[in-house]
């Protein structure tokens, strides 16, 4: 067997399996083990229609947060000009200094001399406080969906994002039973986590590869079908380009493992040997 044949039978399937596992395992872990996320608006409507998730009421929490923000703003607004310097009293005309200079004068003040209260200089006119500038807060009013809003949201696992995408693309009620997108989302998350993990060691590789082909194909139709239809052969924007060709790349890798098997560095090869269709003993002449 030549080097190129060995690479084709061993390294290429191995690299394909590793790339598929690196792409799917973190996503599947997040869908299964990650925390629930809040779905609002149209997404909450779809999940309620599918019977998925639990309803939550966020009205109290929103009111508390807004009240706390308003209270913090009012507490931080100064009531006067706190930067006005404090002026010390003027003691240049203090009568006690004269009495100390002339002790014989005693404690009695002259009749024509004003009392200390009258001698105190009038207070300087205070500068009017600068107008307080309230902090500007840009609060965008929440969207007003037809049925569900932030006050009537749904908490569910992240795996059901796939179910929402399928329904929005037409793969849901009323043409398709509502349990179909729900179970497809669950099976897809299972394939991403468990199937991709077993694909690393190469056990039942064609089974998991077939599941990935179906999974990526449905995801491509639900998320990228409209993009391809809108742009056609014209250049795609950067984000759409990444989305479309990441799906295409994963689809090609999964289809390659499905067609050729897990390769020589796998448990499939160790347990069952060469496939009856692709083994050396059944190679067609000319290959």
44-95 confidence digits (pLDDT tens): 999 999 998 888 876 655 544 444 343 343 344 444 443 444 455 555 555 5
Distance CA 152, CA 156 (A): 13
The domains of the chain are located at 3-34+159-277, 36-61+142-156
The reported pLDDT for the residue numbered 138 is 43
**Is the confidence at residue 249, as pLDDT, over 60?**
yes
Q: How far is CA 176 from the centre of its chain?
A: 30
For range 222-238, the mean pLDDT: 85
Average pLDDT, the chain: 74
Kindly report, residue by residue over 157-191, the tens digit of the pLDDT: 999 999 999 998 888 888 889 899 999 999 999 99
The reported pLDDT for the residue numbered 171 is 83
**Is the confidence at residue 142, as pLDDT, over 80?**
no
**Is the confidence at residue 246, as pLDDT, over 50?**
yes
For range 252-263, the mean pLDDT: 92
The reported pLDDT for the residue numbered 259 is 92
Distance CA 183, CA 191 (A): 12
For range 131-157, the mean pLDDT: 55
**Is the confidence at residue 211, as pLDDT, over 90?**
yes
């Amino acid at each position: 067997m030549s080097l190129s044949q060995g690479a084709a039978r061993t390294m290429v399937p191995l690299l394909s399996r590793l790339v598929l596992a690196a792409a799917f395992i973190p996503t599947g872990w997040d869908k299964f083990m990650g925390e629930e996320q809040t779905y609002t608006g149209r997404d909450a409507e779809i999940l309620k229609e599918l019977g998925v998730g639990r309803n939550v009421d966020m009205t109290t929490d929103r009111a508390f947060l807004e009240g706390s923000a308003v209270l913090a703003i009012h507490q931080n607004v100064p009531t006067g000009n706190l930067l006005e310097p404090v002026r010390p009293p003027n003691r240049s005309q203090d009568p006690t200094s004269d009495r100390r200079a002339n002790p014989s004068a005693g404690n009695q003040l002259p009749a024509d001399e004003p009392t200390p209260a009258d001698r105190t200089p009038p207070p300087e006119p205070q500068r009017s406080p600068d107008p307080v500038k309230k902090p500007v807060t840009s609060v965008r009013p929440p969207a007003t969906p037809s049925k569900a809003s932030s006050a009537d949201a749904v908490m569910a696992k992240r795996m059901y994002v796939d179910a929402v995408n399928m329904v929005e693309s037409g793969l849901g009620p009323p043409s398709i039973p509502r349990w179909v997108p729900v179970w497809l989302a669950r099976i897809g998350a299972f394939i991403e986590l468990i199937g991709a993990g077993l694909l690393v060691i190469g056990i039942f590789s064609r089974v998991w590869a077939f599941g990935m082909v179906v999974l990526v194909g449905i995801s491509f139709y639900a998320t990228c079908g409209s993009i391809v239809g809108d742009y056609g052969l014209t250049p795609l924007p950067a984000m759409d380009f990444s989305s479309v060709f990441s799906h295409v790349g994963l689809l090609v890798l999964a289809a390659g493992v499905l067609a050729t098997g897990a390769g020589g560095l796998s448990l499939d090869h160790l347990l069952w040997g060469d496939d009856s269709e692709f083994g050396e003993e059944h190679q067609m002449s000319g290959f």
